[in-house]
Amino acid sequence: MIRLERPPLPEELAESLQRATDGVRAVPRKEQSGKARTLWRARAQLRQSLGARLREFAPGRERCMYCGDNQGTDIDHFSPVALTPLLAFAWHNHLLACSVCNSHHKRDQFPRDARGKPLLLDPTVDDPFEHLALSLTLGRYRPLTERGEVTEQVCGLNRDILTRGRQQARITLGFLFERWETAERVDDGETMRRVIRTVREQPFADVVQAMVRYSTRPGAEEIFSDQPEVLAVLLRPRLREQLTTR
């Protein structure tokens, strides 16, 4: 999971969402959850438009905003419709998720603290790296905060297929960064750009971010003890600039 920047919606789409919300608000409170679900199922074109907007800023090649591995196929209501029907059509309450994360892990879970604030991390609001530390060698998340722990458990971020995928992603990215360095030495700009595009389209964007962030932290030599050549490349200002510039 990585931090994502949610873009504003086109005016026409925003107005369509507001009209749908008004339709939910128009019925008695006890009926709003059912009304929201009915309207959500009926507004196929609206769902398609929302899905297209979510895919535009999803990590990698339209990856799930929770696990970062599978293709994002579902529109997840961060705060479930059953709990907050008036947010069923709220743009800030929509995330792109894979069917595994959406239907088998998060589902309608939405833990809150004693003050009623969400314990789940919203990648469009929170920086997950402030709450979760990723072990590059193990591919596992270690919670740094209560919110990180709850998010890892609810979303199943340490399930075996994900930890193995992150381990493989680290190896693949190492090869790509070394290829970038080879191209830089001969000033092969086209190959460098192609490598960067490939890196951006990889699943597990959290591994890329972890590698870049951890490379400048104390203990980086130990973290990259089995990839010292990759650490050297990650410290190149030109690479870091290209990774952060669209």
Angstrom distance (rounded) from CA 89 to CA 81: 9
| Domain extent listing, the chain | 11-110, 160-244
pLDDT in tens, the chain (246 residues): 999 999 999 999 999 999 999 999 999 999 999 999 999 999 999 999 999 999 999 998 899 999 999 999 999 999 999 999 999 999 999 999 999 999 989 989 999 999 999 999 999 999 999 999 999 999 999 999 999 999 999 999 999 999 999 999 999 999 999 999 999 999 999 999 999 999 999 999 999 999 999 999 999 999 999 999 999 999 999 999 998 766
